[in-house]
Chains A and B, each alone.
Chain A
Amino acid sequence: MMLLEMASSAFGERIAIGSRSGSGMTYQDLFERSGRASNYFRQNTLKNVSFLDTSSPALPIALFGSAWAGLPFVPLNYRLADDEIQALANGITPALTIVSKESLSVLEDSDGIQVAERNFFLSMTDEGEVPEADWNMDPDEIAILLFTSGTTGAPKAAVLRQSHLVSYILGSVEFMGAAEEEATLVSVPPYHVAGMAAMCSSVYAGRRIVQLPNFDADDWIDLVIEEQITHAMVVPTMLARIVERLEEQPTQEIMSLKALSYGGGKMPRPVIEKALELLPETNFVNAYGLTETSSTIAVLGPEDHRVAYESSDPDIRQRLASAGKPLPTLEVSIRDENGNEVEEGVSGEIWVRGEQVSGEYLGHGSRLTTDGWFPTNDGGSLDADGYLFVEGRIDDIIIRGGENISPGEIEDALLQHPNIRDAAAVGMPDTQWGEIIVALVVPSDAGVFSESEIKEFMREHLRSSRTPDKIIALDDLPYNETGKLLRRVLKEGLVNQGNSGE
């Protein structure tokens, strides 16, 4: 709340969120509405405030309002199946959930959950008393809970305390650093840590936020032009689509875009190279981070992008595939399986330490080592110049279109198919999606194996983003002595097959 109070006090008349055409909400207004929201939250006995809706002005009001009331804010993934959402909600009761008309029915009958429809919530903050600036200034208070998926098991709630967020913001954003005409287009969903970080940084910098709740490349381009957007944050799949549209229909009007940052998954080199070609005046920023580290821990800045793009030295050019350099406010170290630091250029697990790093999960304690390091589960290496290369999850999680997908979930669904005896799901590199899902199955009867029929079956059992993109039949799957499925071996097999030109 301190971030919003400072903003409201220093530049209260600037538009915080919405259109520059006059219908936007000022910082002063956002501040007052957050106060009224906190009164509303305090009227009920709540442990958490949650959010099951796409982006809208209700989001910052609910986020800051819950901070004002001293309650954790929990944005939920509205694309999950109903029962998955209900299970997550069960872990945070008693809670008030801001919902849309569409998502209302998912939680309205859940015990311990009160729902408030978005428009009702917004209109409630239109008027009423604004309480005293009486929020707790306790750095250990939980600010945000974000559920994040692992390879198996239910998603865990990563705990981000006020200290983590404030330390990240103060370390990376200059107060009122944005000129009045700057505007940032946020098209990442509320339940993504980047969406939360964007709210906080933009408010502290004084940069107007424009939201695009449901990404579409044409809508995105139109909005950039209409709102004279100067900054935008996207995941790699969005950039791939934007670049496609710009190639088909080039437009000069998009030139207001001074800075485009991306993250959330691996950016395929061809996409960023094309983007650099089509938007030569735009500053590109690759931000690598995790939910557990309050988002960004390493940045490949605009200069780095340009130098790499223009270089004929392949080692320098290769930096376009890197995550850039770690933030000066933290430390990054590459470790082997025993936790020992490896040499420059050698791959291992990325570990990070710093004030913005949480590594704590609700009900599961902290995953920090005794000396404060967080093992990220991402594989990578540091080169001689300090550039961090991220190789992908070491724990088999598939990241497709910026979304974490558990292979276990896909395998469980595949195993329900009457003709599948055993199944494995792995991610394979893909220019458009970052990774695609490849399922390797052992049919009970190879004679009746049909890829399209299994895909159809999967579509009925899992939502579409989790249907395997490819299904391959094998005689058996590799296991180690302790019975662990060796997905890594399958991946290597596929990569070798690809290389041998089959």
Chain B
Amino acid sequence: MEVRAGSRLKSAVCNTEVIAVKAPGEDMDVRCGGVPMLDPSDTAEEGDTPDASASDGTQMGKRYVDSDETIELLCTKPGDGSLGIGDALLTIKESKPLPASD
């Protein structure tokens, strides 16, 4: 599905929901738990669970990126699956928070 900044996606096999913070605005095979993610308005099949090779879980508030940071997904609801593009899993982006300034 086409993913651009602001696109929301939800997992077909767990509770994970994300929003794209950065995306190329083209078709991408975004997966969670090894299964392609859905538009939030689609209904997931009952009973599906994440693939064992992609079930490290997602954490709320963490940002997940691919190796060249062309895509950045913010996890808005955590779940059991792992995020990936095609077969490659995404990794958590290093957070560089400021000393609290406001």
Partner-B contacts on A (CB < 8 A): 2, 5-6, 9-10, 137-139, 163, 166, 170-178, 184, 194, 197-198, 201-202, 205, 207, 231, 233, 259, 261, 263, 283, 285, 287, 295-296, 299, 301-302, 327-328
Contacts and interface: CB of A to CB of B under 8 A. Distances in A.
Interface string B76-87: 110000000000
Contact of B96 (A198, A231, A283, A328): A328
Size category of the B interface is 20 to 34
A176 B61 contact: yes
Contacts of B8: 137
Given A137-B19, A174-B95, A175-B62, A205 B100 contact: yes
Top-3 shortest CB links A-B: A175-B61, A287-B101, A174-B97
A285 B6 contact: no
Contacts of B97: 172-174, 177
Contact of A6 (B60, B63, B96): B60
A-side binding surface: helix, strand, loop or mixed? mixed
B-side binding surface: helix, strand, loop or mixed? loop
B81 to A, nearest CB: 18
Contact of A197 (B61, B96, B102): B102
A285 B99 contact: yes
A327 B21 CA distance: 18
Contact of A175 (B60, B77, B98, B101): B60
Contacts of B76: 2, 5-6
A5 B60 CA distance: 12
Interface of B: 5-6, 8, 19, 21, 60-63, 74, 76-77, 95-102
A139 B5 contact: yes
11 contacts: A10-B60, A137-B19, A172-B97, A174-B61, A176-B61, A194-B102, A197-B102, A207-B100, A299-B101, A301-B99, A327-B98
B41 to A, nearest CB: 12
Given A173-B98, A207-B100, 17 more contacts: A2-B76, A6-B60, A6-B76, A9-B60, A10-B60, A137-B6, A173-B100, A175-B61, A205-B100, A231-B100, A261-B101, A263-B101, A285-B99, A287-B98, A299-B99, A299-B101, A328-B96
B80 to A, nearest CB: 16
A295 B61 CA distance: 22
Contacts of A296: 98, 101-102
A462 B95 CA distance: 48
A201 B99 CA distance: 12
A299 B98 contact: yes
Contacts of A184: 100
Nearest to B60: A10
A262 to B, nearest CB: 9
A171 B101 CA distance: 12
Contacts of A207: 100
B34 to A, nearest CB: 25
A285 B100 contact: yes
Contacts of A283: 99
A299 B100 CA distance: 10
